Amino acid sequence: PSEDFYYLFLGRGYLERAAITEDRTEQSDLLSAAESLLLQAQNLNPLNTDHTANLARLNTRWYAAVDDEAEKAERLDLAEKNYQDALVLSPQNSVIRNELARLILEVRGDCDRALALYDESAEIDPYYAQTHLARADAYILCSSGRPDNERDTLYRSAVAALEQGLAAA
pLDDT-based confidence at 47, cuts 50/70/90? very high
Tell me how far apart the alpha carbons of residues 10 and 71 are, in angstroms, rounded to a whole number.
24
pLDDT-based confidence at 75, cuts 50/70/90? very high
**Amino acid identity for residue 110 in this structure:** D
Percentage of the chain with pLDDT > 70?
A: 100
169: pLDDT strictly greater than 90: no
The answer to whether the beta carbons of residues 84 and 53 sit under 8 Å apart is no
Instruction: Indicate the pTM of the whole model.
Output: 0.92
User: Which phi-psi region, left, alpha or beta, contains residue 44 (left: φ > 0; alpha: ψ -120 to 50)?
Assistant: alpha
**Amino acid identity for residue 157 in this structure:** S
| Interval 142-168: pLDDT, tens | 999 999 999 999 999 999 999 999 998
**Amino acid identity for residue 139 in this structure:** Y
14: pLDDT strictly greater than 90: yes
- Nearest C-alpha neighbor of 66 from the set 109, 106, 37, 31: 31
Q: Please report the pLDDT score of residue 25 as a whole number.
A: 93
